[in-house]
Structure 1
Amino acid sequence: MLKLRAILIMTVYAILAALASFWMAKQSYSWFPPEAAAEAKLQDDLFSLFTGLGTFIYLGVIGPFLYSLVFHRASKYDMSDGPPIEGNLWLEIVWTGIPLVLVLTLSFVSYRTYEKMAVRGPMELVHLHMPQVMQSAYAEPFDSSPQQQIQNAAQTAPIEQIDVTAKQWAWVFHYPQQNITSTELHLPVGRRVRFTLRSEDVLHGFYIPAFRLKQDVVPNREIDFELTPVKEGTYRLRDSMFSGTYFAANQADVVVQPFDEYQQWLADAAAQSPTPAFNQAAFEYSQESDREGATKGKVAIRGWNSIPPAPPPVVNYAPKPEPDSPPA
């Protein structure tokens, strides 16, 4: 009778733990920025899977532990030893086999996800002797029909080519078909985009949280990467690698807009003459030089070595500085 009761309690608790894990897996989608690219759902699904399994394992361990602590405690003056229980072969096989299968399964699913996204690490790129063959990173269709229609259209639309140059400390975007450059990245919604990433100096990280994209940019390598923006809005590109003193200022806006507005922006930018863009790193460097009385182009000694930023990029289009920032 006691054994049957224990089995019933464990069964009910396992069902409750499974429901709680499923709820946590669904909640994990709200912990991230909006899914602004088709590939974002690939990574969010993977994280949701890890969250659900992690919650179930945690509850599966902490629940029996608390139950034993409350209902199976020894009495205050009980100094006797516990029963001499020997090892159980089947129990040992189960608690060894299940974690092994889980780890191997999660590793395989993670590998497949990042393979679809075509993300490459720095060491993989450094030792890459063959030309990079990139698979299309089309994600599974979204549940909502408008985004699914966008993805279906993206598979047949022409691919937009954009060259991305990273340097200390600025992002420069070149649109080769129109031969224009910008310090603000504009993308058409629902169109496949292929980036060619380059670095002029050190290791940088091309990181757009809303796209779930973080691609290392390695010097002396050209790295191709594709994605499909599916949600209009303005997002933020950051340098995820420590690339020097002013790497935190190495940011840019990413504007995802309808295709007709994107075409109009390209036409407006092509009509503008290239001019130096405002650069936050260069401005902070000059301010530091003025405050510390250093000679032009050289910062006073502050306890660590620093290098001057690259000259502000000369581009067709640059966003206006923030209200608290000085003009270029």
Structure 2
Amino acid sequence: MKRAAIIGCGTIFQVHLPIIVANPEIELCAVCDNNPAVQEKLPAAAKAVPFYTDYEELLEKEHPDVVHLCLPHYLHVPVSEYFASHGVNVFCEKPVGLNTAQAKEFVEFEAAHPEVKIGICLQNRLNRTTVELKKIIDGGEYGKVIGCRGFVPWFRGKAYYDEQPWRGQLKTAGGGCMINQSVHTLDLLYYLCGDIDAIHGSVNQLADYGIEVEDTVAARLHFANGANGVFFATNCDYTNESVQIKVACEKASFLIEDDALFRIDADGVRTKLCENEKLPGAKFYFGASHGILINKFYRAIENNTDDYIHVRDAEMSIRLIDAIHASSKAGHPVAP
């Protein structure tokens, strides 16, 4: 049995906690947040274990085998490296860095510390729809990929940024709708369709929130295999609508929408191939694959395998985001 601690008791904490509690091979040994007032509002399972406001004290007294980092973006790398340097396995939420330079340094740190495992939460790679579409593309039955589209029409009101001001600041968030809301979609376009040679992007602020980070972005993706892609994300929709990922192959197209994968034949006939497990409640758009990925990470620790999402696997998502920003400023395509 592995002893686990959760660092950060905010929104995503509510996803990690029940997964840990439900796994009989994991013992929740502590939780930590720098705001002591959150302790009163914690679920019973979290109230039943020691609460800390200092993660260094938690390490000294509890000696966890694994820590789950559910922290603001700017703390992901330094806190991950702190625990890993002390021999603790780390499961860290996205993003894998504030920018390409930090993500690259994190990759180098991971390589220098093979004695611990650092897993990154890009859980949508393990959605049923993603797994099936990846299998179809790699199998080649429908020919090579010729195009793709990623579409993230979500809403974040001004109160979202006022509630947690770090979300609207570049030095603490690293960006807006890309790094926070649509990083998973960018990651899947690369993961499913292959290497990207160049990106031509446009980054905008359409909402009058007085924040530094972007709320809307569009980009054209030039893939090494000759395919063309388009990516659009916004926090200015009226609500959180379904993410769409469409991949066109030579003999058919495939669409992920409303948590289902469809094959669209040349005659327009649409066939449902599979559906994702759905996460109940208001945060349905997180998807239900956190549990699959977290349990996979613990099996990798137990069996000493590399079967999890590494820091190096997640680096490209940050490189793509930085390339879109750079292209928008330069006014021409840039390489990620």
TM > 0.5 fold call: no
Rg (Cα) greater in structure: 1
Could you tell me the TM-score, scaled by structure 2's length? Answer: 0.25
Could you tell me the TM-score, scaled by structure 1's length? Answer: 0.25
More strand by share: 2
